[in-house]
Amino acid sequence: MTVQWILNGLLSTVLLLLLSHGGGRVSGQQATPIVVIDGLGTVQGTRGRTAWTDREIYKFYNVRYAEAPVGQQRFRNPVPARPWSGVYNAAAPGRPCPQIGLNVTNDVAPEDCLTLSVFTANPTGSSPVMVYIHGGAFVMGSASDYEPDYLLEKNIVLVVLQYRLGPLGFLSTGTANIPGNVGMLDIILALEWVSQNIRFFGGDSTLVTVFGESAGGAAVSALLYSPLVRNGLFQRAIVQSGSIFSPWATCRSPKDGAMDIARRVNCDRPVEAMEDCLRAVPARRLMEAYEEHKNTQFGITGYPDVSGACIVIGEASPFMPKHPKTIARSSIRSMELMAGTTSQEGLMFWEGVYRYGLSYKPDTMETSWDLLQLIDTINERFGASSNDGAHMWHQIFDTFQTTELDRVNYTELLPGLVDICGNLAIKAPVLQDITRYSRANPGKVFLYSFDYSGISSMYNFSASEDFQYPYPNNSFHAEDLFYLFPLGQRLNEPDSEMAKMMVDLWTSFASSGKPSATRLNISWDPVANFYGPYLKINNGCSVNNNYFDEFTASTERVRQQRSEASFFILSKTIALIAILLGVIKTLL
């Protein structure tokens, strides 16, 4: 043991001497890449290769940016990582933050998860930096899911960070002891780490783009409005399929939800004693209590009253003192922004309503009155109910044809239900961000709709015997991620071409503030008004002028499929009749 310790110490000393002449950066000639981070310590990573050109890259996993939020630090602001001695092994992914079904044990070790991964092709350069915030409803996900094999085909540095999830990151009792939003403070601290240290990995801290999808997109959106985010922390942002305006992203009654969760873990007592009790509850049980709370509350009132994994507005947390809808135009940041959605966003959210938000199966609808009740319930679950019904009437007559309303066939109406859920959960909220930022930053905001459907499909992960969507060629929620990260899928040639174009668009925006791609033969113009123009991303991309067409994307797609099928049948019928007439003519 003593001899090994001495050898390790000598090795560290030699490595430090070798690196001292390189400005703290890896030379590229070593068997394994090593970086010295001034003021923190030395990290040793591993080497990798990109997917398409076999380019050599350097990978540094599981680098700590904050101390473990355990014991009395649970539910509290993150503390910056302290310096370490020796060489830190960053050659393999670390543990994800605690989440159901993955790694939650009954000890405190899994909560030591505030780490990030850095991927670079040129540690001695000064490349644009892209920082990714993973999605997962603020309750699941990890940095290890997002490898750099596609994005590092381009000259960027990629950072993927982790933050506290579920009640460990977002529970709020409305007091300074458990204020909520600490998961968002984790993200801000990680961005500060990037600002201070990314130069040691070949990144330019003055060219940082933060991007995220779903809950990660909502987190990026929230950062745009938070007064705790200092100017210059990042320069550009990409919001994918999420927004602070999404009804699931914020809490309407955070304290009520915290009390319900506390009751479920036997911590139902006066506030101060309740908070001490919650700090002692095993992480697994706390997560389970949140899931119980969520499933129960969603079935009663809906997303706005689910607490424990959502951003708190006001209260004791300084992260978001007031709702972004109240922020004046003059207070909007100067920022280059790209934002967009997938065509069938609502498939995942309709599945949630179908499974957990209804007391009956909508497949049994018999009259248009049943459809009316169903859409009223959908609006209630997303917090969009109004007593006058104006919103609901608009949804019904903008989505369905009167003949469809009269027939009341569930399978026929299903695409419209998907559209309504997607509009409430994602599309309309993202448009809120676009509207605010394009008005304050003319010429700097870009909008897209991802419409491509490849071999891989996120729908395959949720389809089951009791939930089926019978229509093909959909772009499900998070489908765009298949073409930015290698998520275990195999890409055929068209998929690979789409991935290369997506990588071009995302990295060119990070580099220049304007998305472009060699495979894009049209100009993607910035948003000029509150509805467009926008880029529709598919095999053949197009620039469309009215994003509100995307509010009925599922419905129109299925109608087109039906029309094409009817035309095919009609053509076959006509051809058959022509053959029969020919036969008859011959016989006569």
Q: pLDDT tens for residues 187-208?
A: 999 999 999 999 999 999 999 9
Q: Given 3-state DSSP classes, what are the helix, strand and coil percentages for the chain, each rounded to the nearest 5?
A: 45, 15, 40
Q: Residue 16's pLDDT band (boundaries 50, 70, 90)? A: very low
Which H or E run includes 340? strand 336-342
Residue 57: beta bridge partners? 48
* φ, ψ at 194 (rounded to 5°): -60, -45
Provide the pLDDT for residue 427: 97
Is 104 a residue whose pLDDT tops 80? no
Is 563 a residue whose pLDDT tops 90? no
DSSP line for 488-557: SPPP-HHHHHHHHHHHHHHHHHHHHSS---TT--S--PPP-BTTB-EEEESSS-EEES-GGGGGGHHHHH
Could you report the per-residue pLDDT of 381-391, keeping only the tens digit for each? Answer: 999 887 787 88
Average pLDDT, integer, range 180-186: 98
Average pLDDT, integer, range 156-183: 97
CA distance 306 to 295: 9
Residue with tokens 């598919």: 538
Could you write out the three-class secondary structure of 192-219?
HHHHHHHHHHCEEEEEEEEEEECHHHHH
Average pLDDT, integer, range 248-252: 95
Which H or E run includes 60? strand 56-64
Q: Residue 492's pLDDT band (boundaries 50, 70, 90)? A: very high
Provide the pLDDT for residue 577: 63
Supply angle C-alpha 476, 481, 486, rounded to 5: 130
The pair of structure tokens assigned to 411 is: 């399978």
Residue 340: beta bridge partners? 240, 448
Q: Residue 168's pLDDT band (boundaries 50, 70, 90)? A: very high
| CB contact burial 21-39 (16+ within 10 A = b; e otherwise) | eeebbbeeeeeebbbbbee
Could you report the per-residue pLDDT of 432-467, keeping only the tens digit for each? Answer: 999 999 999 999 999 999 999 988 776 655 556 678
Provide the pLDDT for residue 488: 84
Question: Lowest-pLDDT range, 220-234, 474-488, 562-576?
Answer: 562-576
Provide the pLDDT for residue 102: 67
pTM above 0.85, yes or no: yes
> What is each CA distance from 103 to 187, 261, 283, 295, in whole angstroms?
21, 21, 10, 21
> For the chain, what is the radius of gyration of the CA atoms?
26
Provide the pLDDT for residue 582: 65
Could you report the per-residue pLDDT of 286-316, keeping only the tens digit for each? Answer: 999 999 999 999 999 999 899 999 999 998 9
Which class for 3: exposed (0-12), middle (13-18), buried (19 or more C-beta within 10 A)? Answer: exposed
Which H or E run includes 129? strand 127-133
Provide the pLDDT for residue 331: 87
Could you report the per-residue pLDDT of 512-526, keeping only the tens digit for each? Answer: 999 999 999 899 999
Average pLDDT taken over every residue of the chain? 89
Is 317 a residue whose pLDDT tops 60? yes
Provide the pLDDT for residue 490: 87
Is 8 a residue whose pLDDT tops 50? no
Question: Lowest-pLDDT range, 68-82, 88-102, 490-504?
Answer: 88-102
Is 10 a residue whose pLDDT tops 80? no
Better-scored residue on pLDDT, 151 or 458: 151
Percent of the chain with pLDDT over 90: 76
Is 57 a residue whose pLDDT tops 70? yes
